[in-house]
């Protein structure tokens, strides 16, 4: 039976973007597949009394500077194109509803790539439905269906429920990765996730 990684994410997180970009190396090495689990990070923070590290350390210039440096260093070491979004913190509610609609469809990875890159490579403003439409068109995705999902009340509710389910599993932030019942949090836990996958094979 093929192993599976569950990747819990919100496009608003630069750490989730960087972890996402490193996933192919893990999947290729260990022969695993990835299931993508979109959530709303803002709701997770409220539910777990947590907050973004950039917000938590906003008055600590040394820590804030280090966090930014670490993002760029991580990307540079792995050859990942990355730029802090000029719209950070990013409102991704429409994009995440689209991600939920995209789940397990043949073009899911194209959608995820497109939105992550739009934010963290190209600095686009994805809380604007017009901008999102242009991104979908550029990548030849089913624009009308995805746009409808982005404003659909049932999709909105399902995303809330999926976010609550993630919290019940112990998720307090993103990226969170699951291998079986083991949870790994943050881009810097990818190495430990790799060790877990090696142990299981």
Residues 97-152 pLDDT 10s: 999 999 999 999 999 999 999 999 999 999 999 999 999 999 999 999 999 999 99
Domain residue limits at 146: 4-200
Six token digits for residue 87? 């719209």
Number of domains in the chain: 1
Q: Which helix (H) or strand (E) holds 179?
A: strand 176-179
Share of the chain above pLDDT 70, in %: 99
CATH assignment of the domain containing 121 = 3.40.30.10
In DSSP notation, 163-174 reads HHHHHHTT--SS
Please give the Cα distance from 114 to 99 (Å, whole number).
11
What is the residue-averaged pLDDT of the chain? 95
Does residue 176 sit in helix, strand or coil? strand
Residue carrying structure tokens 């403003």: 125
What is the structure's pLDDT at 37? 98
């Amino acid at each position: 039976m093929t192993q599976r990684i569950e990747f819990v994410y919100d496009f608003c997180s630069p750490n989730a973007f960087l972890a996402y970009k490193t996933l192919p190396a893990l999947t290729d090495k260990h022969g695993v597949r990835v299931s993508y689990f979109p959530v709303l990070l803002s709701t997770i923070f409220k539910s777990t009394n947590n907050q973004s590290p950039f917000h938590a350390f906003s008055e600590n210039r040394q820590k804030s500077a280090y966090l930014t440096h670490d993002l760029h260093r991580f990307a540079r070491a792995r050859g990942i194109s990355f730029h802090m979004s000029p719209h950070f913190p990013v409102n991704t509610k429409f994009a995440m509803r689209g991600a939920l609609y995209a789940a397990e469809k043949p073009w899911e990875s194209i959608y995820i790539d497109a939105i992550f890159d739009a934010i963290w490579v190209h600095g686009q403003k994805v809380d604007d439905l017009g901008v999102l439409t242009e991104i979908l068109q550029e990548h030849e995705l089913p624009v009308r269906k995805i746009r409808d999902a982005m404003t659909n009340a049932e999709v909105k509710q399902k995303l809330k429920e999926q976010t609550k389910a993630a919290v019940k599993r112990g998720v307090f932030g993103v990226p969170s990765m699951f291998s079986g019942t083991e949870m790994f949090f943050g881009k810097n836990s990818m190495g430990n996730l790799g060790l877990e996958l090696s142990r299981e094979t």
